[in-house]
């Protein structure tokens, strides 16, 4: 088949002249040297050898004419080495772009509203439902083209957008982000803790250009073994609550090809090297993500932008820990990071669909139609029993208006140890302690674990679990969980007899033995932003 660039060349006067001259040259070679069928090799510049598939050969839908006038992807994405990505982008742009009315029936059938009522944030619905419903097919085309153009722009400037184009040996490490005083103090604590548990992975700390200028902080982090990296191509948004956009770029720009990303307030209970060899991770695109406590509403326009129908099979992401190989999924893992970065670059729009950065990764994977590994066990809550309120469970909580209504999270391993029936706790993501005012004291922070009796990631009865917020006496806002009122009529009777919330003392969880003391001794703190 003739590459697209040559077909276009044949339609121009210059192209015809070049073809005539090339033909005459070939005839001359044959006349001078005799038959060359077995010897002649026609060598074209690599830039001419563009990837071609049936879809790529076809023009893009008319909806993209304003963005891609030649009806093809931008030239910088049509290089031969980018073929695994190019094909997926073309297929993404060919997905249906439906208005709300066109998609609502299928979405509500797949994700019944009476189930979603307990699984999605009422605040999110109140704030964004009108915005979601107003997004039409023209806006969908605009946003899709915007993501592809972001990739094309970075590819044109020479940046690697496909992981398989990264040369050199595979390197592994831990990636953190920090910059202001409080995040630096948490990272100092985390680095001390990593040393205590015997971590051997190198650590890189990525920060904004205007941060980490204090020599004392820099020296402190470097003395603990961290390499400091100044992020490029992304800036802080003035007045934003949290500048999550650094996280995708941190994973792109780290020197590691394979990494564990950790939030500064996320503390592993043991070393992490084994995650890179976990079968669940290796066999699912070499990308692993952990679940949050919510699912996306059927009316969320993200389903239509992605070109998908709502499903209850996936939890939203909790991105406090990510295991990731840029070369995974034929290199498309790195492309997914760039798409997430593109979404974060336009966060004024995408945050109306996603809760911060965390779900930009999931949607990027769905846009490219590549697999990832969800952690096999659902999140548990880690907190206290409130002695001022009949020992009612109290997970630490921040503001009732936020979308993240969770306590300190206990996340689980990707592997199940020999002799156990399910994975053990691996990460204590104390994502809300930084918002409290210091009233919790040593020995009264990580005292109890609350989880559901059946808590496999794909356990359908978890769709009937309600995380809720209440005002705990003398303890401020707390979170708790229970089966909501409709569960009895919706659940299988056998499952209903087993499924229930379970509260256990941290002392009875072997992985947590000695953790709280170690956390305080390493510099753990309550409060601080």
User: pLDDT by residue (tens digit) across 464-473?
Assistant: 998 777 777 7
Residue 134 lies in a domain: no
203, 288: one domain = yes
pLDDT tens digit sequence for 503-519: 999 999 999 999 988 88
What's the pLDDT band for 238 if we cut at 50, 70, 90?
confident
Report CA torsion sign: 387, 390, 396, 401.
Answer: negative
The pLDDT value given to residue 42: 35
172, 227: one domain = yes
183, 319: one domain = yes
Structural domain ending residue among the three candidates 334, 356, 374: 374
The pLDDT value given to residue 478: 75
Residue 59 lies in a domain: no
245, 331: one domain = yes
Residue 89 lies in a domain: no
The pLDDT value given to residue 12: 53
267, 334: one domain = yes
Share of the chain above pLDDT 90, in %: 64
pTM metric for this prediction: 0.86
Among residues 292, 279, 287, the alpha carbon closest in space to that of 409 is found at 292
Contact by Cβ (8 Å): 367, 94: no
Half-sphere exposure of 115 (CA within 13 A, CB side): 22
Number of separate helices (H) and strands (E) present in the chain: 19, 16
pLDDT tens digit sequence for 474-503: 766 677 889 988 787 888 888 888 999 999
386, 370: one domain = no
Structural domain ending residue among the three candidates 337, 358, 374: 374
425, 295: one domain = no
Residue 141 lies in a domain: no
The pLDDT value given to residue 520: 86
Contact by Cβ (8 Å): 512, 445: no
Give me the number of domains the chain comprises.
3
The phi, psi pair for 355, rounded to 5°, reads -85, 80
399, 356: one domain = no
**Looking at 46-50, 219-223, 325-329, 476-480, which range is the least confident one?**
46-50
Structure tokens at 140: 């969908």
Structural domain ending residue among the three candidates 311, 344, 374: 374
Residue 84 lies in a domain: no
Residue 133 lies in a domain: no
Report CA torsion sign: 481, 484, 490, 495.
Answer: positive
Residue 423 lies in a domain: yes
pLDDT tens digit sequence for 55-71: 667 799 999 999 999 99
367, 387: one domain = no
199, 322: one domain = yes
Residue 409 domain boundaries: 380-521
What's the Cα-to-Cα distance from 40 to each of 31, 47, 337, 465, rounded to whole Å? 13, 21, 43, 69
177, 218: one domain = yes
The pLDDT value given to residue 241: 62
Residue 175: is its pLDDT beyond 50?
Answer: yes
Residue 352: is its pLDDT beyond 90?
Answer: yes
Exposure class string for 346-379: b at 16+ Cβ within 10 A, else e: ebeebbbbbbbbbbbbbbbbbbbebebbbbbbbb
pLDDT tens digit sequence for 256-311: 999 999 999 999 999 999 999 999 999 999 999 999 999 999 999 999 999 999 99
CATH code of the domain in which 196 resides: 3.90.550.10
What's the pLDDT band for 237 if we cut at 50, 70, 90?
confident
The pLDDT value given to residue 330: 98
The pLDDT value given to residue 386: 81
Structure tokens at 80: 């031969």
What's the pLDDT band for 180 if we cut at 50, 70, 90?
confident
What's the pLDDT band for 361 if we cut at 50, 70, 90?
very high
What integer is the mean pLDDT of 407-425?
A: 93
Share of the chain above pLDDT 70, in %: 83
Exposure class string for 434-458: b at 16+ Cβ within 10 A, else e: bbbeeebeeeebbbbbbbbebbebe
Contact by Cβ (8 Å): 183, 233: no
What's the pLDDT band for 18 if we cut at 50, 70, 90?
low
Q: Which residue has the higher pLDDT, 257 or 126?
A: 257
422, 447: one domain = yes
Question: Which residues, listed in sequence order, are joined to residue 386 by a DSSP beta bridge?
Answer: 392
Q: Which residue has the higher pLDDT, 407 or 479?
A: 479
The pLDDT value given to residue 50: 43
Chain mean pLDDT for the chain: 85
Residue 10: is its pLDDT beyond 80?
Answer: no
């Amino acid at each position: 088949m003739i590459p697209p660039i040559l077909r276009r060349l044949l339609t121009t006067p210059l192209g015809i002249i070049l073809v005539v001259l090339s033909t005459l040259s070939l005839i001359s070679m044959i006349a001078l040297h005799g038959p060359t069928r077995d010897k002649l090799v026609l060598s074209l510049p690599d830039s001419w050898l563009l990837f071609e598939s049936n879809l790529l050969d076809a023009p893009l839908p008319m909806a993209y004419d304003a963005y891609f006038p030649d009806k093809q992807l931008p030239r910088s994405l049509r290089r031969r080495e980018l073929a695994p990505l190019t094909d997926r982008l073309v297929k993404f742009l060919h997905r249906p772009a439906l208005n709300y009315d066109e998609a609502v029936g299928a979405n509500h059938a797949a994700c019944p509203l009476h189930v979603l009522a307990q699984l999605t944030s009422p605040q999110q619905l109140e704030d964004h439902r009108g915005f979601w419903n107003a997004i039409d097919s023209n806006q969908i085309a605009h946003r899709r083209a915007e993501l592809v153009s972001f990739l094309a722009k970075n590819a044109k400037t020479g940046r690697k957008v496909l992981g398989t184009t990264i040369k050199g040996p595979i390197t592994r490490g831990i990636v953190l982000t920090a910059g202001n005083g409080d995040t630096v103090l948490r990272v100092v604590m985390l680095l001390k803790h990593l040393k205590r548990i015997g971590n051997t992975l190198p650590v890189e700390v990525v920060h904004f250009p205007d941060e980490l200028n204090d020599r004392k902080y820099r020296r402190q982090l470097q003395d603990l073994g961290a390499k400091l990296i100044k992020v490029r191509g992304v800036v802080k948004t003035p007045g934003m609550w949290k500048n999550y956009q650094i996280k995708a770029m941190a994973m792109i720009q780290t020197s590691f090809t394979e990494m564990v990303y950790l939030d500064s307030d996320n503390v592993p209970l043991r070393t992490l090297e084994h995650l890179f060899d976990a079968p669940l991770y290796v066999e699912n695109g070499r990308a692993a993500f952990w679940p949050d406590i919510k699912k996306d509403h059927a009316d969320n326009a993200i389903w239509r932008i992605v070109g998908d129908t709502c499903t209850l099979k996936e939890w939203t992401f909790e991105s406090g820990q990510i295991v990731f190989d840029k070369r995974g999924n034929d290199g498309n893992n790195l492309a997914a990071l760039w798409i997430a970065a593109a979404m974060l670059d336009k966060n004024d729009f995408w945050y109306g669909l996603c809760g911060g950065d965390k779900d930009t990764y999931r949607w990027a994977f769905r846009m490219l139609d590549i697999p990832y590994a969800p952690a096999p066990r659902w999140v548990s809550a880690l907190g206290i029993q409130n002695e001022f309120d009949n020992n009612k469970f109290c997970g630490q909580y921040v503001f009732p208006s936020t979308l993240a209504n969770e306590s300190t999270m206990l996340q689980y391993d990707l592997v199940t140890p020999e002799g156990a029936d399910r994975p053990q706790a691996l990460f204590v993501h104390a994502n809300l302690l930084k918002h409290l005012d210091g009233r919790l004291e040593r020995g009264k922070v990580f005292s109890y674990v609350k989880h559901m009796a059946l808590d496999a990631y794909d356990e359908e009865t978890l769709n009937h679990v309600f995380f809720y917020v209440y005002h705990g006496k003398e303890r401020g806002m707390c979170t708790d969980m229970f089966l909501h009122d409709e569960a009895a009529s919706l659940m299988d009777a056998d499952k209903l007899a087993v499924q229930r919330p379970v509260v256990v003392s941290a002392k009875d969880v072997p992985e947590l033995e000695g953790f709280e003391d170690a956390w305080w001794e390493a510099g753990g703190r309550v409060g601080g932003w």
